[in-house]
Structure 1
Amino acid sequence: QVVAMPYENATMIGCTDDDYYGDLDNVTATHDEVEYLLQAIERVFPPIRRARIMRVMAGVRPTLYQWKPYEDDLSREYEIYDHKELHGVDGLLSAAGGKLAMYRLMSEHATDAVCRKLGVQAGCRTHIEPLPGGEEAVDEDAVAAEYGAPGYVVRRLAYRHGARCRRVLDMIRENPALGTLVCRCEPVTEAEIRYAIRHEMARTLDDLRRRTRTGSGPCQGARCNFQAAAILADELNLPPERALAMSAEFLQQRWKGKAPVLNGDSLAQEELNQAIYNLAGNYPEVAP
């Protein structure tokens, strides 16, 4: 079963299931997996191969042990293990199985198990309390008119920050220069990047990508990572050498996601981009 899910400025297609025995810190999709997904989507959307594939994502699902079933037939259920009962090791619990879609329920059951071990009696509230910024609905048109901001910027801020989008817009109101777009693919303003650093514990370019999607668009950070690294260095008082190292590390991680989908002219263009960055940043190496 293959799913196509619209997400922000792109569509996510997936997924595949295969046994994995390699390094858990270096997981990537294969060309065969990419081809499998393309063939599946072609049945309902024939022009898919003319679309630009930005990158792939891969991860390892710790499914519960079963003997003989094929990978895609393995159960997606989960278990919370108390290692005192299993191995005589007190104070250690672990969760295995499950998948991202049931993360909140898994977390609730894991926390319940910890509370029982500690003798804590408290009701779960995560299913009724809103996430930060979700306390109230955002009238995007009214906010755009109030701040004189482009509608597409407000929509993206409201999607990511909810009612807290006003905090970012207040920064731009106080200093209009912070309204400059750093990542044009998404788009992400300088104010949002500085807000993520100051209030959301962003300490690396990958943190910024997760908080704001900086570097997640079609260019995969090729146009924005230098500027984003400079802002990080300014906010955290980092030396220039550290900012350059962070930039090189970020491009290396982006390359891992792009490599399985590159071929022909797109591969040649990417190799040219990597060479340009090697020279501009004086990097010893950006991609293998």
Structure 2
Amino acid sequence: DLGAEAEGREMSRNFAVIDHQQRDGVKGFTSIVGGKVTTYRLMAERVVDVAAHHLGVSTPCTTAEVPLNDREEPLDQLRHRPSVLGVPKPHGDESPLQPLLCECELVRPQDVAPWFKDPAVRDLEDVRRRTRSGMGPCQAAICSYRLAARLVSDRGLDGASATRAMADFLETRWRGVRHVFWGSQLRNMQVTTGLHMELYNLDRELMKSPLPHPSRNLPPPLAEEGRGGGDGAQPAEVAGKR
């Protein structure tokens, strides 16, 4: 019984080896079905035993006794083995971790910096389309204030204008996902709303009048000598404090 009707962890660990030469008269063809990752070495032993039998090999399988790594090396030595063998590291060099602007989409401050310098970028939606900032699971719940901070440091907006731009950005994110909120998703959005209203103070800031709407009229990028924060800057004057 391979547990065909079960799902996930309820699936059976049983497996079956099919000798197609015996069942179908097809030589040199063996299949294995079922099983799980926890039984992969036993599965390998059984299917290789069938193949070895057809090849006339009678040597017992040793996969259950012999470790996959035949050398007793400390883990720190194993970690450097790929470089010794000439295999490139998947993530480049081991430079220190750098802060992320958008954790969901792994967007770094230096990834958005060129776009805040581009006069064609007129709002945070333009930045999103070019970098995927705010397109992850939290839908800009966290990175929106960091993007708004870049409007202060790179575009010279004041705190009220940057806050309005952040609110407009969050509104576009809300319009795209509000139709699917239900159950745990709805509860999660309540947490996000509390974050925006209590921590970012958006409800009180947006009630102040007048707040400008710079959405499609952001000022041009500041000259290099006029920048205050650099690539990683996050000015505090984005949303007011209670």
Bigger radius of gyration, 1 or 2? 2
TM normalised by structure 1 equals 0.37
The structure with more helix, counted as a fraction of residues: 1
TM normalised by structure 2 equals 0.43
Higher relative CO (CA 8 A, sep ≥ 6), structure 1 or 2?
Answer: 2
